[in-house]
Structure 1
């Protein structure tokens, strides 16, 4: 059950606009949720996403998305979908802009490296790092006794930005007894997590978080394929070939294993390939780019419209906020999104897993954690050096160093490594 001070269905109430640290009254020309969005937009963490890897690294070419452009696109998709369901658009927008703030240099490759070096202190998870950044690391608000509370967003916005509202290993249990490796909070951030989840059903995400998650899935599934086609890494016409079709289907199961049948996935390839806007030939001309962009636009509309209609069919047509409802994703829509993700994984992401470049990227972050821990007093940035000096034990000190490394961009990680560890690996990239 939710907290007794919650609003009526379809409304946001006093609990939803409450902040972890109560701030002095502000002028009334903006809502609390508009302020939340502005704090994300003006944050240094959001700016850094412009130099962090999405799928292809920044500087790979001048077309591929970065984490920043991806986040802006997710926000646009999420805002429109959330608005259609009656969510406050600024709550959804804030969650979408914030959803990748905790990702380290080199994308998921960097996340893997930091998870390994932090295994003894609870690991590393980009989503848990996002919560840590929003509520602790991003310099914006301090209590009178000098404790940093990050951006000090409202409860509704923080909850909407929490994609996995559970600790490591404590997520929903699957039929086979397993649980997802993803999680949304580290042990030492539990107090603020308990506060933001006040009144929330255990393990359940608010509808704004579900909209953010779907917008993320829709955006990167469609846009990663667009980037791959543009760069020449994918030829969508090959999906008519049985061998290539089987490769994609196998990749979907190996990497994502969505809760839809193999028949649904197989049918999704046929459906996508038969769409009149499906790009089976891309020539790089201006008209070709326009057709490619039309495909991405049409697919985003297709997926969002499908989920919007299904959600309305189950929960009615009034405003849906917080825990009033869940986003309903039809199996056919989920299967098509999964196939697009599988295409990008098959032709772009999986082939690079054993690439020397990606091994070097992991080495850069591993080396940086070691050297920064050893030279913390002189090597860490001032704000992290202060955290390191205030730490009570080695586990906390290691977490501070991981915070520092996670905050770096791809380029700054390479530069720091070259300066502190020698130029061999850094310059080779």
Structure 2
């Protein structure tokens, strides 16, 4: 299924004279995300550990670059546009606020009365409204004005809050942004993700499941020998079952752990030497190759050869492979994200978000960034003004949030 002219349409028509003949529409989409301020800000936003905690660990930007590297090659192997998948991967975390999912939870609580906060819905808002590139003829912002195919690929949860599957409370669009959502989803099956979005989502899962374990080992948060300790891993498997794969049986998760341990990919010790670092890098390469290779093979078995794009196919992810990925996620969760030390830090971070929200609300005209101040002053309802405050908080990096909180709140 080839990409059509409809797939290449933009929300706002652009002057053909500004388009280079040798440059593809989807390549232009990718370039717009690469040059965006929202992408740059990810360099100072938490992935698992806060930026500045360690020189080795990933931040949100390096994570996004790695997801894009995986997704670009994976998508191209299936016949997707590499640029569409690359764009979706680079954009997938743009909506994350300071302090990662912890900041997301705090903002969701603050925005409860206006439809909540969700990083994926905020990503769509950035791409189609907040990031400055194009405007409608009447002056309304159109964000980066990406093509229909790229916006659809970047939408991991194509539904409003409450409309998705019961298993997830996540959603991809706020009520205020339904107009553009309905435009790029025109003709798409309700609640169904395009193949490019599925490729982006699996690439994201693969990247952070593997890289978070690598970061945890290299930073000394986790000794890989623990993986061979049955009592310790029983707790990890409980996290995997509860948080990442509630639909899979304990036997499936047990078998996944056994396969990971006997694969030879995971080192059984780490001493910080260059040789040990090389072994960690080999682990990431082997596990990523395994996770992507199995899914590519199973998808081809179901759909056959030829280019697979948009709504012409679905990824096939075997339960066993998904279980392996879930176990790795649970390792980082149990040994890094939910330690007593981390939980104390996370509580402080949520207080920072709440304090900043109150500070912005108290003096919006003095404290909001210029572009968001214009949105605030033109808002016609209290809900719209509150959404602008949320937009401002979501845009902050970890470092700027802490600096402003120290200045305004103390």
Compute the TM-score of the two structures, normalised by the length of structure 1. Answer: 0.94
Distance 1:332 1:120 in 2: 40
Deviations 1:332-361 (CA, angstroms, capped at 9, x unpaired): 111110110010111011225873321111
RMSD between aligned alpha carbons?
1.1
Distance 1:219 1:385 in 2: 37
Matched with 1:21 is 12
| Moved >6 Å (runs of 4+) | none
Matched with 2:311 is 323
User: Could you tell me how far 1:254 is from its partner in structure 2?
Assistant: 2.0
Distance 1:311 1:44 in 2: 36
1:352/1:103 CA distance change after superposition, 3 Å? farther
Matched with 2:248 is 260
Matched with 1:155 is 148
Q: Alignment partner for residue 160 of structure 2, among 148, 155, 167? A: 167
Distance 1:256 1:127 in 2: 18
Q: Alignment partner for residue 122 of structure 2, among 123, 129, 144? A: 129
Q: In the alignment, is the contact (CA less than 8 A) between 1:260 and 1:334 conserved in 2?
A: no
User: Could you tell me how far 1:259 is from its partner in structure 2?
Assistant: 3.2
Where do 5+ consecutive residues of structure 2 fail to align?
none
Q: 3-state DSSP class of the match of 2:338?
A: helix
Q: Give the 5 Å matches for 1:292-371.
A: 292-352=280-340, 355-371=343-359
Q: In the alignment, is the contact (CA less than 8 A) between 1:315 and 1:325 conserved in 2?
A: yes
Do structure 1's residue 49 and structure 2's residue 42 form an aligned pair?
A: yes
Do structure 1's residue 92 and structure 2's residue 85 form an aligned pair?
A: yes
Matched with 1:375 is 363
Matched with 2:222 is 234
Do structure 1's residue 396 and structure 2's residue 387 form an aligned pair?
A: no
Q: In the alignment, is the contact (CA less than 8 A) between 1:40 and 1:98 conserved in 2?
A: yes
Give the length in aligned residue pairs: 408
Do structure 1's residue 405 and structure 2's residue 398 form an aligned pair?
A: no
User: Could you tell me how far 1:19 is from its partner in structure 2?
Assistant: 0.5
User: Could you tell me how far 1:145 is from its partner in structure 2?
Assistant: 2.2
Distance 1:352 1:406 in 2: 26
Distance 1:323 1:44 in 2: 31
User: Could you tell me how far 1:258 is from its partner in structure 2?
Assistant: 4.5
Distance 1:276 1:252 in 2: 21
Distance 1:293 1:280 in 2: 14
Do structure 1's residue 78 and structure 2's residue 71 form an aligned pair?
A: yes
